[in-house]
Amino acid sequence: MTTYQDFEKAVEKGRVPQFIQSLINGHKSSADVKIALEADAYDRQENLTIGTFVQMMYSLDGRRIMNPVASNMKIASNFFNILNNQRTNYSLGNGVTFTDESVKDKLGQDFDTVLKKAARYALIHGCSFLFFNKDRCHCFKLTEFAPLYDESTGILRAGVRYYQIDYTKPMTAVLYEEDGYTVYRTKKGNTLEEFQPKRGYLEITNTVPIDENPEVVGYENYGPLPIVPLWGSDLKQSTLVGMRESIDSYDLIRSGFANDLRDCAQVYWLISGAMGMTDNDLRKFRDRLLLDHIALADTDNATVTPYTQDIPFQARTAFLDQIRQQIYEDFGGLNVSNFSSGTKTATEIQAAYQPVDDRADDFEYQIIQAVQQILKLIGIEDTPIFKRNRITNQLEQVQMVMLEAEYLDDETLLNKLPNITPDEVKDILKRRDEQDANRMMQYDIANQNDNSDNEQGNETNQNENGNG
């Protein structure tokens, strides 16, 4: 493992470009990146195991060869994508909020989108990185960012983000340090050279006329590195680990089932009275049946009898259902097919969500740690608040909230309603305050008109009494 101390030694020797090239090559060949790339394939619904699977057969001389007539349908499931999206959207589908409403403005308008993207890659790859610069966050994937951790503290002290459109095109590598970043680019011979000198993260500008661009006169930094790791769990590994075997089993059985139905592989023939046939004659006879489904036989001296065996449909279906349920249980996901029949009570739904909540607690703890480190860079102390995106019996839940309404304030009441998001709560309260203000204004105007009419009525009565 290459550490920050190794980088310091390279700086002393003046071999930073060579060190960066070695770091990138080592990162690409590391076990974590290999698993991350495999996880990306499964996320695209590309099962690598069945993708390389070929049905084999044994020849008469005992050699294991590819079966040229067997179907090789490869049906890949989408469990990996579905379950990772489910866990991400469960915690971040409604975004995050803070006790201080102005925090999101300082993190950028697209903070929820970037955080959701980083969280999803943290699950798939095991880790992702949040880079904060000026007024917004960026997401770095593990497959494009090589971190340099401190040997003593384990803190991320530096790192290199690399990207390349194509292997034939130049590669750009950006070295991020605590005191700024430097851009490198490959030249002839694929050697890295400095492309842009080191600069700080925060620009210091002079005021200029409105028709000119601001003049940059210096740079400042945050102090610590403005890049923080976001882990998918305490295990610090991809969710593909331990899940791949179950997905492969499901896909192999389903693909094999389809191949059996297509090939009628359970049909075989018994030839009686053909003891005079040589091995070559038997092989030709079999190949003719497999390829053309018809063959000539000397029925005077031999008979051919076909036999069929029913494909074990029920056993395979039951096993597939069992594997499917096991995948959801092992991942800690919610199988929505369990809610397809009948109306579920709030208690039943709550019980079904318990494994999801347990995994979400661990995941949200990782998100909180990463976001608080970002907030610390800009001198803010706050904690993200999540509103989990879940299936509910809304009627039953609304009824329960309304029974508690007399003991709750308006904001708490709205936050507990399942069909209202946290962002909508603020708008609703604002509009209610405006409506209350308008009603009070209309009430005051009405009272003033009534008082004015009463005063005019009193004056009229006084005048009539005086004349009388």
Distance CA 285, CA 302 (A): 13
CB 4 within 8 A of CB 150: yes
pLDDT at 354 over 70: yes
Q: What percent of the chain has pLDDT over 70?
A: 74
CB 178 within 8 A of CB 223: yes
How confident is residue 417, by pLDDT bands cut at 50, 70 and 90?
Answer: confident
Bridge partner list, 258: none
Bridge partner list, 131: 138, 227
Closest CA to 230 of 138, 151, 160: 138
DSSP letter string over 133-149?
ETTEEEEEEGGGEEEEE
> Based on the number of CB atoms within 10 Å of its own CB, is 181 exposed (0-12), middle (13-18) or buried (19 or more)?
buried
Strands 267-272 and 303-308: antiparallel
Tell me the pLDDT tens digit for each residue of 383-393. 999 988 876 65
What pLDDT does residue 209 have? 65
What pLDDT does residue 388 have? 85
What pLDDT does residue 212 have? 65
Among the ranges given (128-137, 309-318, 437-446, 456-465), the one the predictor scored with the smallest mean pLDDT? 456-465
Distance CA 85, CA 121 (A): 10
Closest CA to 149 of 15, 27, 39: 27
Strands (DSSP E) contained in 111-201 are 127-133, 136-141, 145-149, 156-163, 172-177, 180-186, 192-199
Strands 227-231 and 56-58: unpaired
Q: Which residue has the higher pLDDT, 458 or 367?
A: 367
Distances (CA, A) of 137 to 91, 112, 140: 19, 10, 10
Q: What percent of the chain has pLDDT over 90?
A: 45
Counting every residue written for the chain, the total comes to 468
Tell me the pLDDT tens digit for each residue of 95-126. 998 988 889 889 988 999 999 999 999 999 99
What secondary structure letter does DSSP report for 338?
G
What secondary structure letter does DSSP report for 311?
-
3 state DSSP class of 152: coil
What pLDDT does residue 68 have? 55
Strands 136-141 and 127-133: antiparallel
pLDDT at 168 over 60: yes
Closest CA to 23 of 1, 51, 52: 1
Domain segments of the chain: what residues? 4-74+91-231, 267-308, 392-468
